Structure 1
Amino acid sequence: MSTSTPRSAQFKMSSFIFLYFFTWSSSFGLYALWLSQKVGLDSITIGSVFAINGVFAVIMKPVYGYIMDKIGMSKWLLYFVCAVSALMAPFFVTVYQPLLLSHTTVGIFVGAFYLSLGWYAGVAAAESYTDRFSRLYGLEFGRIRMWGSLGWAMAASVSGVLFNFTPLANFVVSSTTSVLMLLVLISLKIGDAQLRSNNVISENKIVFSDVILLLKNRKFWMFSLYVAGVAWMMFVAEQQFPRYFVSFFDTKEQGNAWYGYLSTVQSGTEFVMMMFIPMLVNHYGAKKGLLLCGCVVGARLIASGLTTDPLMISIIKPLYGMEIALLLISVFKYIAEHFNKKVNATMYLLGYQAMIYVGSVVVAPPAGYLYAKIGFEHTYLMMGCCALFFTLVSSFTLSRCRSARHPEPEELHVLDTVSVAPAKSH
């Protein structure tokens, strides 16, 4: 079987990521508005939806990570994700919405399971595979992942208009592009030379005891503390942000359209940042990249709570794109530096992605309650201050970068704790 040339492989991988995020944005970008305006759920119930979604994501992400570390560069898990995504339109129309209307609790659980298979855990698997592919070919992750930002931006530019016409159009577009995504992935053939001479995929496949060792690693929990304090605030605040944003406009339809336009600008910002932030993180180190991200998150949330002007909230919104680029690139570089390559995907999907959705379980319901009781403004002020506090704490608890004279992470045992001199925290 012929393999793709490096240039062709990069083009196909970039195309896959572009189509995946185009697909995801088409349907999921306005998910909170769909739950509110089309299904008719209130703030507290929507918070519960995201919480249950988070529970299933927390369960599925580590499973996907373990499978990916087992299968290496095999694409069978991604084929499954594409198939699930292609069936999103019939699922939303014939299963999910009717259940939410007639048997809300059952609908929430069924939806959470299906969305976790295709999107919540699926996107984490796609990004982890992209990171692995990038390092296999000696590329920067951000230079491929940025095409996902462009895909999200292009879908977001029309998703608000389609949503006002009928949400069914969003779902049909999503399912159609999923089929294209699957075809592109099938055509991608990883080069034999890259597979033979690489330090990305471990010859010793992961076993369950490696996961136990990872959970005993102090660095794992210090990294998780950062995720809990900063990433939880960042992503939970974003879940119902569309509803807050729409409230600044005279009509919901006007707000929906403007949210779509600004999501395009946000994704464009993310696209540009994905090109330049790798240089910043390479120069200053992954730890400082994570801390800078925390500062931006805290400042954006506080500013969102203080403003009362539609123009200002529109200027603030695209900063989320910078946060995503900073966070993703810093996370992958931090994991590659401080954890064994045998558990690379597991660490990303368990220590980062699953921990994010623990936040949906823990923080989303009380956040929904606070939105209803004290308003979005005061809630965002609290969340912004929390993000800044944990950024300060993480400046002491995250491990610093190794210098060139220290051994590569893959040479270190997965239980790389405080006994390893280069891994001392500040």
Structure 2
Amino acid sequence: MNSTTRIKLSFMMFLEFFIWGTWFVTLGTFLATNLGASGPETGSVFSTQSWGAIIAPFIIGLIADRYFNAEKILGVLHIVGAILMYQMYNATDISVFYPYALGYMIVYMPTLALVNSVSFNQMEDPEKEFSTIRIWGTLGWIAAGLLISYFFHWDSQESTTAGLLKNTFLMAGIASLVLGLFSFILPKTPPKVSKDEKVTVSDILGLDALKLLKDRNFLIFFVSSILICIPLAFYYQNANLFLSKIGVDNPTGKMTIGQASEVIFLLFIPIFFKKFGFKKTILVGMLAWAVRYILFAYGNAGELSFMLLIGIALHGICYDFFFVSGQIYTNSKAGEKFKSSAQGLITLATYGIGMLIGFMVAGQITEMYKVGGEENWKMIWIIPAGIAFVVFILFALLFNDKTKSETEI
């Protein structure tokens, strides 16, 4: 890969995740303070991510893979996204905001696969080259949080009260427009499937990989993946609002510690796999969710603030040790024929079904433990900690990785 192409792909990946990190992290705080949204209403807005994840395969499978270059579709989707983001910036009521958020997630979620397609198309050895491009996405997410907290101060209590948090949508919209226009000068990535070739719904959604569920261990992993997304949804939906309400300074900037740890712990996965095997690695990830929420439940913005920072820093273990190791495990079980469809099935199960259920549960629990407009944060965090611990116990008891193929991934 020449240096010009590398720079283009890195900038593309940086903006892709800069956009998401700019508005999604502070979304829960914005909905509660600017639009006065209830817990269930907030859960509904967050669940637009899940609907986007469910619909995305159809956009990729029926359009991107068959008729148009991936970089051109990426450009069009981000330009449309910029328009929708501007409408979200102008919305003053949750009923007006929701349809724009839904529309935005439907056009944004397919771009996550498109940036990967554009990148892979330029690589001779993706296993070695992709990580050096993908890391710019994490850096983009971190940059967004640092700008919001330490440069613009939009998430300070004074700015939040003044309604300045809505500027995150304007910044995301501008970045989306820039990426949309930039996409048209990205390396050409033509369709991979002939427009005359028949593609079924089963192909698009990866349903052929359902055959893997006949394997008892994979079935247990599959169900566990859905269940662990319930506590995960609590973090996405409530973490920024929680930190803001209890008086933590620069909460969005501090949450970037989670992305930094994600980069670090990603390096430890091969070591854990080699020494402890898949089951113990994924169990550490599950247990980390429970520990993180206990730290949130009993920490505070004063002398126990270190508990909150540790909880944020655990994001690397929570995400990498479960989701990344799970993707590797899925790849090892699928075989050549079902590799792509198996990954699609797991994505549908986690970001689609699992997160959809999770945001609904998180919204209801948050509303249930709200008295006089104030959340009982201890209970709001203890409940997902309990769910994560139950999933941990069930997986530990039911999953058997004694076979050579599962211990030597």
Q: TM-score, normalised by structure 2?
A: 0.76
Structure 1 range deviating more: 277-286 or 298-307: 277-286
**Which residue in the other structure is 2:103 paired with?**
113
Structure-2 separation of matches of 1:402 and 1:65: 36
Amino acid at match of 1:91: L
Structure-1 separation of matches of 2:391 and 2:122: 32
- Alignment partner of 1:372 out of 367, 370, 377: 367
- Alignment partner of 1:148 out of 137, 140, 143: 137
Amino acid at match of 2:136: W
Q: Is the Cα contact below 8 Å between 1:290 and 1:326 reproduced in 2?
A: yes
**Residue correspondence of structure 1 range 11-410 to structure 2 within 5 A:** 11-51=7-47, 53-54=48-49, 56-64=51-59, 66=61, 70=65, 76-77=69-70, 79-94=72-87, 97-98=90-91, 101=93, 104-105=94-95, 107-118=97-108, 120-123=109-112, 126=115, 136-139=125-128, 142-160=131-149, 161=152, 163=154, 164=159, 166-167=164-165, 169-182=167-180, 183=182, 186-188=185-187, 207-209=200-202, 211-218=206-213, 219=215, 221-249=219-247, 255=248, 258-281=250-273, 284-310=276-302, 311=305, 312-374=307-369, 375-395=376-396, 397=398, 400=401, 403=404
Structure-2 separation of matches of 1:132 and 1:283: 34
Deviation of 1:265 after TM superposition, in Å, equals 2.2
CA displacement, residues 127-184 of structure 1 (integer Å, 9 cap, x when unaligned) = 5876897794331755443322211111100123353383454334323333554536
Per the alignment, in what secondary structure is the counterpart of residue 138 of structure 1?
helix
Segments of 5+ residues of structure 1 without an aligned counterpart are 196-203, 250-254, 404-421
Deviation of 1:324 after TM superposition, in Å, equals 2.5
Per the alignment, in what secondary structure is the counterpart of residue 33 of structure 1?
helix
Amino acid at match of 1:45: E
- Counterparts in 2 of 1:272 and 1:131: CA distance versus 1, 3 Å: farther
Structure-2 separation of matches of 1:290 and 1:141: 23
- Counterparts in 2 of 1:290 and 1:127: CA distance versus 1, 3 Å: farther
Amino acid at match of 1:84: L
Per the alignment, in what secondary structure is the counterpart of residue 41 of structure 1?
coil
CA displacement, residues 291-323 of structure 1 (integer Å, 9 cap, x when unaligned) = 221111121112212324441223322222332
Q: TM-score, normalised by structure 1?
A: 0.74
Aligned Cα root-mean-square deviation (Å): 3.8
Q: Is the Cα contact below 8 Å between 1:335 and 1:347 reproduced in 2?
A: yes
Q: Is the Cα contact below 8 Å between 1:12 and 1:184 reproduced in 2?
A: no
Structure-2 separation of matches of 1:283 and 1:134: 31
- Counterparts in 2 of 1:126 and 1:205: CA distance versus 1, 3 Å: farther
Amino acid at match of 1:372: E
Per the alignment, in what secondary structure is the counterpart of residue 40 of structure 1?
coil
Q: Is the Cα contact below 8 Å between 2:80 and 2:107 reproduced in 1?
A: no
Q: Is the Cα contact below 8 Å between 1:47 and 1:365 reproduced in 2?
A: yes
Deviation of 1:281 after TM superposition, in Å, equals 3.8
Deviation of 1:230 after TM superposition, in Å, equals 1.7
Structure-2 separation of matches of 1:205 and 1:336: 25
Per the alignment, in what secondary structure is the counterpart of residue 246 of structure 2?
coil
Segments of 5+ residues of structure 2 without an aligned counterpart are 370-375
Per the alignment, in what secondary structure is the counterpart of residue 29 of structure 1?
coil
